[in-house]
Structures are given as C-alpha cells and as structure tokens.
C-alpha cells in the first residue's frame, strides 16, 4: 500500500526514532509499504519517519544506477550492488571516511527543494537485517550519500540542516513557505 509521505514541518521528522525491538508482521507490512511508496515517489531511499512511523527503519534502492558507486564491500568481501538491493535495515550504525565531497540532494519530505550538501565520501554502515543477520556495508557514491541521508532521518536530521550557513539563509523563505503550506507542521 502506498503511504502518505509526511512533509517538512511534521514533528516526526525531528524526532530521534525508537529502535526496532521485534520484527513482526506489522514491521514486514511497513517495509513492503515503504518500498512501494519509495518507488511510486521515484525516490532512492525512504525512512520510517517519512511515512509517520517513529522507528529506526529505512529502505534504499540505487540499483537503477549500477555505476553510482566505485566500490562496494559487504561483510569484508567485494560485492555487486544488485545483490543487496533493495537494502532494508533497522537500527543502523554509521562510520565515516575522512574525505568529504559535495553532492546534490533532495528529499521526498521536502518537495521541490534540492541543494548541494557536503558529506563524507565513503561510509562503513552496520545494517541489521529483518532476519537478524547483519550486513556491514562499505561504499561510496550515491549509496554512501543515501545511507547518510536516511540514517539522518532516523536521528531527526534533515538534509537542509547540513547546508552551509549561506545556503541556509538563502533557503529560509522557501522553507518557511513549505511550513506555511503544511497543515501537519
């Protein structure tokens, strides 16, 4: 089922989400809904708070662009992107590489706004799976950016919070208009 994506100003987007403590039918159904919602919205990732759920759960699928990364290791072994997509994870942990780069980002919860965001170029993500196994994913490119973006959502952080001060000032009016037009805010 396609769920409504909550928009900028909704309080759930600013909460540090609760850990998933049990994977039950409700979680399985939520994941299926999130994947369907993400695809319907032409997104590459979706976090549970974006559909109004205060849970440390997210989905990512960047398989439409297999060249979006230059390397991928899963549990220490070289891997192919298609093998792990869509990526579904709960209660993630993230470690960052030293090098940073700018990249264009948008968000399904902040419609119509895109901006250059500076983030670590590479990440190492520990991603517990629904079946109890754990994937340790080391990567760069769009997948690294998507992991950082979705995990930020689980911590109540939005990509606009990561903008340089000058960009935040120039975006203030556009964000205020979004807030004013959002009845949930």
Active site residues: 150
User: Which letter, b or e, does each residue of 4-22 get, where b requires 16 or more Cβ atoms within 10 Å of its Cβ?
Assistant: ebbbbbbebbeeebeebee
Q: Is 149 annotated among the ligand-binding residues?
A: yes
- CB contact at 8 A, 125 and 136: yes
* Distances in whole angstroms, Cα of residue 45 to Cα of each of 88, 98, 123, 169, 173: 10, 24, 16, 27, 26
- DSSP for 6-28 reads P-TT-GGGGSPPBPP----HHHH
Summarize the annotated binding site as residue ranges.
Answer: 107, 149, 153
Summarize the annotated binding site for Fe cation as residue ranges.
Answer: 107, 149, 153
């Amino acid at each position: 089922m396609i769920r409504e994506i909550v928009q900028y100003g909704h309080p759930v987007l600013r909460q540090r989400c609760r850990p998933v403590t049990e994977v039950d039918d409700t979680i399985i159904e939520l994941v299926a809904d999130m994947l369907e919602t993400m695809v319907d919205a032409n997104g590459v990732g979706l976090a549970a708070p974006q559909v109004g759920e205060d849970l440390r759960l997210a989905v990512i699928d960047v398989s439409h662009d297999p060249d979006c990364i230059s390397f991928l290791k899963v549990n220490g072994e070289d891997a192919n992107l298609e093998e792990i997509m869509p990526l579904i994870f709960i209660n993630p942990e993230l470690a960052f590489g030293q090098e940073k780069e700018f990249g264009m980002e948008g968000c399904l919860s902040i419609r119509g706004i895109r901006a250059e965001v500076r983030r670590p170029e590479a990440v190492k993500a520990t991603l517990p799976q629904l079946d109890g196994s754990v994937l340790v994913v080391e990567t760069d490119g769009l997948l690294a950016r998507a992991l950082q973006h979705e995990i930020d959502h689980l911590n109540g952080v939005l990509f606009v919070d990561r903008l340089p001060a000058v960009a935040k000032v120039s975006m203030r009016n556009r964000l205020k208009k979004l807030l004013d037009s959002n009845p949930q805010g």
